[in-house]
Structure 1
Amino acid sequence: MSVTEKAFVLIKDIQNQSLLTGVYQPLVDLILESQENVFHTCTSLDELMQQLDIQENTAAILCLLTNKISITTINLEQTFAQISEFISECADAQVKALPNLFSALCRFFTDKLIESKQYLRGVDPLCKAITKAQNAPTQLTSIHCDLLKLCLLSKCLKPALAFLDVDISDISREADTFDVKYYLLYYYYGGIIYATFRNFERSLFFLTSAISVTGIAISEIVVEAYKKYILVSLLVHGKVGLPPKQNANYLSRCIRPLSVAYTELASAYSEDNAEDLEKTFMKYHHVYERDTNVGLVKQVMASMVKVKIQKLTKTFMTLSFGDMATRVNLAAGEAEAESIILQMIEDEEIFASINQQDGNVLFLDKPEKYNSPAMYRLLEQELQKCVKLNEKLKELDQDIALMPKYQKLRAALD
């Protein structure tokens, strides 16, 4: 019997024991210990994996694949195919038992696809990988970041929405830890994706979450998220809101000084001065271009006119296109004013009717009376979300109360 055949028999024996006990660490230890004398070549690893059924021996194949990707000379195309097949057919329960190895495999898969510029190839496998690794749809894993990165690079963003439209209430513990980097990247990438779909309110929520994490060292992710947070805040509210209270000092001391081009733009915007805004844009154009934020900045500049028009709806009941063009400083006059108003009505940014004969606009109140069956259903759905969130907060509160560190702290304070 060859060394590989002996290893196969031993792995099958330990795999069967692991299936009964639900403990896979002995199997992991065996394969890692055998790396030097049995699994030091791709050939021996491939031979063994071919003899193992993926569904029955998911944990063993995961360990073997982890060994394989540590070898410097591997056939990437063959490895991509093996990883894709493994993710598609592996047993969920065994993957959940080894989250650190599974996430490391997905990270290798992502990094190598990016190196070879095959971004789209990894989107579908990683969607499957997330659902297999999660204990619940609301759980965040490090694989989420890999998927979002590939979606952005491939410009195939819709698959990411299935994992972004869920409110996260739990974080996967990979090797009993979770690197905060993946939390920050999830909300940073999510903010970019929602901004691309022009869902600026949801984008703002994600970017706010990204800048809410306190820290001592300066995080490059937080710096970039803060820059986009300023721009999206201007698009949503017409101003930059107050930063999260728990992080205000960190942002003002460490992050704001690195975002001067954006704070100056926000300052010019708040003064309703189109000329100053244009000057700021030209002054820092190279910065916005470097940060790939030119598109967002241009949308902010264009939104100034819309914000001014929205303010006029609170002052006037009717207004002519000529008056409107004068008050908001439109160079093209009445024609441009009419075009902007029509677009704003279509996007439900304002509610108005146009009298083409007189060239006037009649501003109206929001027609929603909140008494339709559809609105009742929406309110019921939102109430259910609030109830579930309240239950989750109670669970977290109980978990924190039972933590030894918390109990020691309470005892010291008492």
Structure 2
Amino acid sequence: MDAVETVIAQIQGLSGSDDDISHLSAVLIQADETLQSQSQRLGPFLEQLDPSKHCLGYLYVLEAYTSSQIPKERANDIIRTIVRYINSCSADQIRLAPEKFVSVCKRLKDQVMLLQVPIQGIAPMRTAIRKLQPSTEYLTALHPEFLLLCLLAKCYKAGLSVLEEDIFEADQPKDFFLYCYYGGMINIGHKRFHKALEFLHNAVTAPMSVLNFIALEAYKKYILVSLIHNGQVPSFPKYTSSVAQRNLKSYTQPYIDLANSYSTGKISEIESCLETNMEKFKSDNNLGLVKQVLSSLYKRNIQRLTQTYLTLSLQDIANTVQLQNSKQAEMHVLQMIQDGEIFATINQKDGMVSFHEDPEQYKTSEMIEHIDASIQRIMALSKKLSAIDENISCDPTYLAKAGRERQRFDIDDFDSVPQKFM
């Protein structure tokens, strides 16, 4: 019996009780180098194991088997094998070797991308995340992989199911940056610009000791989405790292120029900036967003008219906001009415637009439920933050560091009582 056969026999014999699994884990750690060196001949041995009964052992063998170069013609077989394993494996056992499980799942992503069928990886990757997570508040290394597949497959709604969960813990900073960046892109694809800003803002303001390329790309999109959604780009908050505050703007000058052009409110200015930096926006894959910025300026200029006029002709709107004709003005106004961005009616007979006040009175049962849900979520977040603060305050490492950095005082420094009253 050679070394691989011995390992397979041990997997089959030690996959029963919890004590056996603990022993098997130690055996597999020792045998991992052997499995890696024999990776190309492990296929038949996988067939001797059941992914549900021999979960931990199957994982080690599968990870080693897929570590070698996989020909394209075998990609479908590998995908089926990994998906079958993900669906049947035990969450408790994969957490004994999380790095192996992550490695196998990333290879699933590689194979579906190789075959240009990213949609096939979405459901199993989401299952893998649920099994790997100790709680929904934990960010795994598979979150960015899952979101990338959703982006490539344009299945933005599938990505929202994960993005709507509050994250409080993560192991690797890179996972967090990618999670925020991809999360921002998925929300952009779903036209949820306010949520996209939250994710991109988190990527830009997260702690960093050196300039982070992911944060840099996030900042470019943050500028564009800020202009689309708010009409301006906010300054960095105080908690933004000094590295980000010093460097991000200098590496995103075309986007800063675009924001400055936007602030003038002149279509000609922003079109000139777009023409000057066209190649840069294209190479960054941001040209589509930049065009939405231009479109949003038309809308914002129309919104300004509602603050000045009660009625206005479509031709006057076209002339004021620099549209080509009244037909284009009508299309913009109709779209804005449909999106709830303005409240108006169009008289088709004489081409006049009448602007109205916001009809929402904020007293319907639906609005009350929405406000109550928001309050409940804020209270839950506050409670969670208080618990995290308490845990940090009791952490020996934190206390030791805080103690070293705290200014040392003599006892007399705390005595504010005048000596003559003693």
Q: Same fold (TM over 0.5)?
A: yes
Q: Is the 8 A contact 1:233 1:240 kept in 2?
A: yes
Q: What residue in structure 1 maps to residue 387 of structure 2?
A: 395
Q: Is the 8 A contact 1:31 1:64 kept in 2?
A: no
CA 1:98 to 1:398, structure 2 compared with 1: closer, same or farther past 3 Å? farther
Offset of 1:327 from its aligned partner?
Answer: 2.3
Q: What residue in structure 2 maps to residue 222 of structure 1?
A: 215
Q: What residue in structure 1 maps to residue 414 of structure 2?
A: none
TM-score, normalised relative to structure 1: 0.90
CA distance in 1, matches of 2:35, 2:124: 27
Residue 137 in structure 1 maps to residue 131 in structure 2: no
CA distance in 1, matches of 2:278, 2:3: 64
Root-mean-square deviation (CA, aligned residues, Å) is 2.4
Q: What residue in structure 2 maps to residue 40 of structure 1?
A: 38
CA distance in 2, matches of 1:337, 1:90: 58
Offset of 1:407 from its aligned partner?
Answer: 0.9
Q: What residue in structure 2 maps to residue 94 of structure 1?
A: 93
CA 1:49 to 1:142, structure 2 compared with 1: closer, same or farther past 3 Å? same
CA distance in 1, matches of 2:401, 2:241: 25
Offset of 1:154 from its aligned partner?
Answer: 2.7
CA distance in 2, matches of 1:311, 1:24: 70
CA distance in 2, matches of 1:67, 1:294: 42
Mapping of 1:403-414 within 5 angstroms?
403-412=395-404, 413=406
Gaps of 5+ in 2: 408-422
Aligned partner (choices 351, 359, 368) of residue 360 of structure 2:
368
CA 1:261 to 1:397, structure 2 compared with 1: closer, same or farther past 3 Å? same
Residue 244 in structure 1 maps to residue 237 in structure 2: yes
Q: What residue in structure 2 maps to residue 169 of structure 1?
A: 168
Aligned partner (choices 53, 57, 62) of residue 60 of structure 1:
57
Aligned partner (choices 274, 286, 304) of residue 293 of structure 1:
286
Q: Is the 8 A contact 1:31 1:63 kept in 2?
A: no
Q: Given residue 31 of structure 2, which amino acid in structure 1 is its aligned partner?
A: I
Mapping of 1:8-407 within 5 angstroms?
8-16=8-16, 18=18, 25-32=25-32, 34-35=34-35, 40-43=38-41, 45-72=42-69, 75-171=74-170, 178-247=171-240, 249-332=242-325, 334-407=326-399
CA 1:338 to 1:72, structure 2 compared with 1: closer, same or farther past 3 Å? closer
Q: Given residue 266 of structure 1, which amino acid in structure 2 is its aligned partner?
A: A
Offset of 1:357 from its aligned partner?
Answer: 4.4
Q: Is the 8 A contact 2:52 2:85 kept in 1?
A: no
Q: Is the 8 A contact 2:109 2:121 kept in 1?
A: yes
CA 1:320 to 1:55, structure 2 compared with 1: closer, same or farther past 3 Å? same
SS in 2 for 1:51: coil
The superposition leaves residues 292-349 of structure 1 with CA deviations (integer Å, 9 ceiling, x where unpaired) of 11111111111111101112222233333333233222221x3332222111111100
CA 1:97 to 1:375, structure 2 compared with 1: closer, same or farther past 3 Å? farther
TM-score, normalised relative to structure 2: 0.88
CA distance in 1, matches of 2:232, 2:23: 54
Q: Given residue 370 of structure 2, which amino acid in structure 1 is its aligned partner?
A: L
Q: What residue in structure 1 maps to residue 413 of structure 2?
A: none
The superposition leaves residues 261-318 of structure 1 with CA deviations (integer Å, 9 ceiling, x where unpaired) of 1110111110112112111111110011111111111111111111011122222333
Offset of 1:358 from its aligned partner?
Answer: 4.7
* Aligned residues between the structures: 404
Offset of 1:25 from its aligned partner?
Answer: 4.1
Deviates further, 204-213 or 119-128 = 119-128
Q: Is the 8 A contact 1:15 1:27 kept in 2?
A: no
SS in 1 for 2:248: helix
CA distance in 2, matches of 1:182, 1:16: 35
CA 1:15 to 1:251, structure 2 compared with 1: closer, same or farther past 3 Å? same
CA 1:33 to 1:366, structure 2 compared with 1: closer, same or farther past 3 Å? same
Q: Is the 8 A contact 2:310 2:356 kept in 1?
A: yes
Q: Share of identical aligned residues, percent?
A: 32
Deviates further, 109-118 or 144-153 = 109-118
SS in 2 for 1:258: coil
CA distance in 1, matches of 2:117, 2:256: 37
Q: Is the 8 A contact 1:268 1:277 kept in 2?
A: yes
The superposition leaves residues 235-275 of structure 1 with CA deviations (integer Å, 9 ceiling, x where unpaired) of 01011112232226433421211111111011111011211
CA distance in 2, matches of 1:315, 1:73: 66
Offset of 1:21 from its aligned partner?
Answer: 7.3
CA 1:2 to 1:327, structure 2 compared with 1: closer, same or farther past 3 Å? closer
CA distance in 2, matches of 1:2, 1:47: 14
Offset of 1:397 from its aligned partner?
Answer: 1.1
CA distance in 2, matches of 1:10, 1:271: 73
The superposition leaves residues 378-414 of structure 1 with CA deviations (integer Å, 9 ceiling, x where unpaired) of 1222222112212211221122123222111222216
Bigger Rg, which one: 2
CA distance in 2, matches of 1:404, 1:163: 33
Gaps of 5+ in 1: 172-177
SS in 2 for 1:257: coil
Deviates further, 255-264 or 98-107 = 98-107
CA distance in 1, matches of 2:18, 2:81: 23
CA 1:225 to 1:134, structure 2 compared with 1: closer, same or farther past 3 Å? same
